[in-house]
Structure 1
Amino acid sequence: MTILITGGTGTIGSQVLASLNGQGADLRALTRTPEKAKLPTGVRPVRGDLSDIDAVRTALEGVSTLFLLVPNVADELTQAMLTLNAAREAGVKGVVYLSVFNGEIYADVPHFVGKHTVERMIAACDLPATVLRPSYFIQNDMQQKDVLLAHGAYGAPVGGRGISMVDTRDIGEAAAKELLRRERSETPLPRETYDLVGPDCLTGKAIVAIWGEALGRTIHYGGDDLEVLEQRVRAFAPAWMAYDLKLMFRRYQQDGAMADGAEIARLTTLLGHPPRSYRDFAADMAQQWSAV
């Protein structure tokens, strides 16, 4: 039988495939351009994307387990719900769905609400799925390289409440473990939900202290101006997406996104090791940047 990975060439999908590599599973990856896709040896590219239901139906033929990652697009909710319905009709016995941490709380952030609505569908239809709820990705801060090195500043307006950022490698490992568990089961398994979080309370103040230590210099926090954030994102993304991200950061500043000890302990059990820390990420990046 076969595992189908959506988003296999992206940040998270590539980590999922890396963690599945060598585990003996038959792997397919959905991609718009199979001829250009850079995939691990043995992973078969399948042409299509989640906005094309006919392509999705074709890609699901012979698939027993699905990793569903829907990109942040205007019709994300529709794509997710249609794909889950098609998977159910195709007889897929297990799904791992990538949702978001605090989706049920951030009721005014569009892509959070969309993912939570998909979770409601999974529960209402009693789909055999694992829901993974990652927090803000640590690796998003690789985009801070230029401002950190050139200006000694950290520019993401994370605020002062605290975010339990998660390493994308931990997301990949968690997804792979649940995909394999469901794939190797002879029968569909009950629903599970995991919060994918890091061990740190990451505020703007805490993050600049970590970067200061890693880079050996004073780093300043760029502040909480969300208008600046929106305009910066609009330079490379659609206006609706820039506003969506602004709303997300507004909730981070107002409410934070902190995990509790039980959530961290449960993830530790799933991974087989504690979730990776932001400090280790910063140290690794500082070493790589200094070597260039």
Structure 2
Amino acid sequence: MRSRRYVMTILVTGSTGTIGTQVLSFLDGHGAEIRALTRSPEKANLPAGVTPVKGDLADIDSFRAALHGVSTLFLLAPNAPDELTQAMLALNAAREAGVKGIVYLSVFKGEAYADVPHFASKMTVERMIDAYDLPATILRPAYFIQNDMRQKDALLGGGVYGMPVGAKGISMVDVRDIGEAAAKELLRREQAGAPLPREIYELVGPDALTGDALATLWSEILGRPIAYAGDDLEGLEQRLKGFGAAWLAYDMKLMMRRYQEDGAIATDEDLVRLTALLGHAPRSYRDFAEAAAAGWSRD
């Protein structure tokens, strides 16, 4: 039987954002041809060797063109009012284009949080993947640890930890673990000679973090008293409106309400499975916080 040489071509969506940049970083040096979907190729600051491709999930014709010659896809749909439509059209286009492997970024606790719009959207996409038996890895990240870089002013200026995460606990995940997990699965699927069965990974951290626990941790790291600012969801929504759309601020408030009511804690099985994928234990919040504090002290 004649052997076939596969040209590895991976397309990364969301390539210039928080997660996409991590995915590209961990793909670097593994021999695949990497393409990065971006609305502005001329402005994209990408790693050497990554080819920018003009396109946008909101413009289906541009995305279909970008899929030409692509064999494996990293799909990250943006937080947008039409997130579900964008993701489902992208999956249909990938299926029509003959893409043999997909890594889809979903969300941790999506099925349980049925009243949170962007969670429910991602679960609908997961149902499509299941219904059509698409060759995909579904990654379900918890709340991003690095979101707390935005707590700098509250911590240093106000002496408080200000995100109203509540008292149930959240197994926050480091974005580097998300990027690394995605890259490993993209490469595994790309290097396979045929489409592989579906896999699901919960992307979580090793700690069940509460508001009070985070305040205590920051007190230790910063060497000063830090208090938890409390569970004020109305205040959170108003603050978020200052940075973005009202619908998104309300969506984030609904998410945080569910964190307060139910938590989002990883199981031992989740952590064992993720550790096996990464080849190391998931990164801890303390490691992030110590590095962040060291950086702030140099500013």
TM-score range, shorter chain: over 0.9
1:254 partnered with 2:270: no
CA–CA separation in structure 2 for the residues paired with 1:107 and 1:158: 19
1:167-186 correspondence to structure 2 within 5 Å: 167-186=174-193
CA–CA separation in structure 1 for the residues paired with 2:231 and 2:282: 27
Q: Which SS does the other structure have where 2:230 is aligned?
A: coil
Q: Which residue of structure 2 lines up, in the alignment, with residue 271 of structure 1?
A: 278
Q: Which residue of structure 1 lines up, in the alignment, with residue 14 of structure 2?
A: 7
1:199 partnered with 2:206: yes
Q: Could you tell me which of 105, 112, 116 is aligned with 1:105?
A: 112
Q: Which residue of structure 2 lines up, in the alignment, with residue 241 of structure 1?
A: 248
CA–CA separation in structure 2 for the residues paired with 1:256 and 1:85: 34
Q: Which SS does the other structure have where 2:186 is aligned?
A: helix
CA–CA separation in structure 2 for the residues paired with 1:236 and 1:215: 27
Percentage of pairs with the same residue: 71
1:44 partnered with 2:17: no
1:60-71 correspondence to structure 2 within 5 Å: 60-71=67-78
**2:44 aligned partner, one-letter code:** A
Structure 2 unmatched runs, 5+: 1-6
Q: Which SS does the other structure have where 1:63 is aligned?
A: coil
Q: Which SS does the other structure have where 1:188 is aligned?
A: coil
1:114-129 correspondence to structure 2 within 5 Å: 114-129=121-136
- 1:48 Cα offset (Å): 1.0
TM-score with structure 2 length normalisation?
Answer: 0.97
Q: Which SS does the other structure have where 1:61 is aligned?
A: coil
Q: Which residue of structure 1 lines up, in the alignment, with residue 168 of structure 2?
A: 161
- 1:291 Cα offset (Å): 1.2
- 1:14 Cα offset (Å): 0.3
Q: Which residue of structure 2 lines up, in the alignment, with residue 142 of structure 1?
A: 149
Q: Which residue of structure 2 lines up, in the alignment, with residue 81 of structure 1?
A: 88
CA–CA separation in structure 2 for the residues paired with 1:205 and 1:43: 43
Q: Which residue of structure 2 lines up, in the alignment, with residue 219 of structure 1?
A: 226
CA–CA separation in structure 2 for the residues paired with 1:206 and 1:264: 20
CA–CA separation in structure 2 for the residues paired with 1:87 and 1:251: 33
- 1:236 Cα offset (Å): 1.2
Q: Which SS does the other structure have where 2:220 is aligned?
A: helix
1:210 partnered with 2:217: yes
TM-score with structure 1 length normalisation?
Answer: 0.99
**2:228 aligned partner, one-letter code:** Y
**1:244 aligned partner, one-letter code:** D
**2:218 aligned partner, one-letter code:** W
Supply the RMSD in Å over aligned alpha carbons: 0.5
Over residues 210-240 of structure 1, what are the superposed CA-to-partner deviations in whole Å (9 max), with x where a residue is unaligned? Answer: 1111111110111101000000001111111
Over residues 2-37 of structure 1, what are the superposed CA-to-partner deviations in whole Å (9 max), with x where a residue is unaligned? Answer: 100001110000000000000111000000100000
Q: Which SS does the other structure have where 1:95 is aligned?
A: strand
- 1:276 Cα offset (Å): 0.3
CA–CA separation in structure 2 for the residues paired with 1:210 and 1:116: 33
Q: Which SS does the other structure have where 2:224 is aligned?
A: coil
After TM superposition, the runs of 4+ consecutive aligned structure 1 residues lying more than 6 A away are none
Q: Which SS does the other structure have where 1:131 is aligned?
A: strand
CA–CA separation in structure 1 for the residues paired with 2:152 and 2:49: 34
CA–CA separation in structure 1 for the residues paired with 2:55 and 2:218: 41
CA–CA separation in structure 2 for the residues paired with 1:135 and 1:8: 20
